[in-house]
Amino acid sequence: MDANKQAIRELQVARTIKALAKNNIDARFVPKAAEVVGQVAQLMHKGETVAVGGSVTLAETGVLDLLRNGDYVFYDRYEKGLTKQQIDEVFQKSFSVDTYLASANALTEHGEVYCVDGKSNRVAALLYGPKQVILIVSWDKIVPDLVSAILRVKQIAAPANATRLHTGAFCTESGKCIHPVCDEHHLMALSAGACEHTICSNYVVFSHQQIEGRMKVLIVGESLGY
């Protein structure tokens, strides 16, 4: 990246980290994806119970490989051969782990974390249960405000994830949400019955956290995930 563009992006990251801190969210900048595993390892202890939310970013950064190295008790939702019932059991165990790792759909410069889920085991664990939450988030997901975060999910994150998961949702055919704009009628949730196969069932904005430092965000200076 051009050095001048890099400088501007880093200023945006700094603003976001400062705003997140005001919401009791411990955020830091990780310039390279290759540095993420080391940063995550420093935030955990050997022998901890750990689990993850569905995330392309965790795979791209090598975090899943770290969790599988034998140093942790990893409730692995991706383990080959698991039945639907066994996956559901993993989700249930995830609510009481020492550390839960995931990504987010957007971060705002106002210090908010925005996530949209289908089944919603991810947002449920982020909200309550695990002692520590670590989010690995590309700096591409930083947006000015909540409206921009909502639009980002409608136009980028949801269509890409729905395509990855082969859901058959409207956005997998059109490349954008059936309601791709934000107005007083269609701010977050879709109109009732608008998209039969939607993966956008629950919309969560994480603002001021009551448990200081429970939620940690590693903002990575590379393009990752959706």
In a domain, 119, yes or no: yes
Chain mean pLDDT for the chain: 95
In a domain, 155, yes or no: no
In a domain, 157, yes or no: no
> How confident is the model at residue 186, as a pLDDT?
74
In a domain, 187, yes or no: no
In a domain, 108, yes or no: yes
In a domain, 112, yes or no: yes
In a domain, 170, yes or no: no
* CA dist., res. 211 & res. 160, Å (int): 33
In a domain, 55, yes or no: yes
For 105-147, how does the pLDDT look when each residue is reduced to its tens digit (9 = 90+)?
999 999 999 999 999 999 999 999 999 999 999 999 999 999 9
Range of the domain at 55: 3-144+201-220
| 25: CATH | 3.40.50.10420
Q: How confident is the model at residue 187 (pLDDT cuts 50, 70, 90)?
A: confident
Count of domains forming the chain: 1
pTM value is: 0.95
> How confident is the model at residue 1, as a pLDDT?
81
